């Protein structure tokens, strides 16, 4: 539980801590994700199939599947498409079986990168990921080489101008682990992965809709990149994200927008 004093103090601490990213940087990342909306159905379908295969097709008993279906609905995916892919994953229909594989490595300036994939051909996928790292100035690492620099958690970010007091009151009451405000007024809510859905629902019920809401790998510390280094890092990240088998790319770089 975070007291008001702890919340206020943390909001004034070193802005280099991950999560205290400038609002422009958050919007820049969100804009780049929006540019890639053409791939979102493919990624969401894979997430639905893996979640259903691992936890069953009952939405009420499978939180991961509920989140995947929410993403699908947000992307305007038809209900019959969602159901068909759940049925494929649970054996009601014949379908492709996907495997989750995580790759880790380093980008420009030693920035840490995690690449989460879902693939039906891991030989192809590892070759493609390794090629992108090598071609665009990164280095692929071994399992666990950078994951310790990230925290697996739920994250919601609210735009500047949102009531800090209201967010803090609702979030902490619902079970959030932390609430952090940056210098520009953006507010970040952090939760345990299992509490993400409950806290998000409580905030939205109170009329508080986050700009970003996801279960993510949040960097514990960040590396600021500017100029040519920022451009090279962005290129590396873009190329990784463009790979068909890639679901998510996490990194600890603060890239100059």
- Percentage of residues in the chain with pLDDT exceeding 90? 63
Return the pLDDT at 238: 93
Is 94 contained in some domain? no
Q: pLDDT at position 38, please?
A: 60
Residues 105 and 45 in one domain: no
pLDDT for 89 equals 82
What is the pLDDT of the chain when averaged over all its residues?
Answer: 86
> pLDDT tens digits for 18-29?
434 456 666 666
DSSP strand pairing (150-158 vs 223-225) = unpaired
The verdict on 60 and 161 lying in the same domain is no
Domain co-membership, 164 together with 59 = no
pTM: 0.77
- Confidence tier at 62 by pLDDT (50, 70, 90): very high
Domain range holding 53? 37-89
Q: Are residues 243 and 254 in the same domain?
A: yes
Tell me, yes or no, whether 129 and 2 share the same domain.
Answer: yes
Are residues 9 and 59 both part of a single domain?
A: no
Do 120 and 155 share a structural domain?
yes
| Count of domains for the chain | 2
pLDDT in tens, 124-170: 999 999 999 999 999 999 999 999 999 999 999 999 999 999 999 99
Regarding whether 231 and 117 lie in a shared domain, the answer is yes
Could you tell me which residues come within 8 angstroms of residue 19 by beta carbon, excluding any fewer than 6 positions away? Answer: 155, 180, 182, 188, 190, 218
């Amino acid at each position: 539980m975070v007291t008001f004093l702890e919340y206020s103090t943390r909001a004034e601490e070193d802005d280099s801590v991950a999560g205290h990213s400038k609002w422009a940087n958050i919007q820049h990342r969100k804009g780049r994700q929006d540019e890639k909306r053409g791939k979102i159905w493919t990624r969401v379908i894979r997430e639905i199939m893996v979640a259903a295969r691992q936890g069953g097709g009952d939405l009420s008993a499978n939180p991961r599947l509920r989140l995947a279906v929410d993403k699908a609905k947000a992307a305007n995916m038809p209900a019959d498409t969602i159901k068909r892919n759940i049925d494929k994953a649970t054996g009601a229909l014949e379908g492709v079986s996907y495997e989750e594989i995580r790759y880790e490595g380093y980008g420009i300036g030693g920035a840490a990168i995690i690449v989460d994939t879902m693939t039906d051909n891991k030989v192809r996928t590892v070759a493609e990921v390794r090629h992108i790292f090598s071609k665009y100035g990164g280095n692929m690492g071994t399992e666990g080489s950078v994951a310790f620099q990230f925290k697996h958690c739920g994250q919601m970010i609210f735009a500047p101008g949102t009531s800090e007091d209201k967010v803090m009151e609702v979030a902490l009451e619902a079970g959030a682990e932390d609430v952090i405000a940056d210098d520009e007024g953006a507010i970040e809510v952090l939760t345990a992965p299992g509490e993400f859905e409950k806290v998000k629902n409580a905030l939205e019920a109170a009329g508080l809709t986050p700009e970003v809401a996801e279960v993510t790998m949040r960097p514990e510390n960040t590396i600021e990149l500017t100029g040519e280094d920022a451009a090279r890092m962005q290129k590396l990240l873009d190329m990784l994200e463009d790979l068909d088998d890639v679901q998510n790319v996490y990194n600890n770089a603060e890239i100059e927008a």
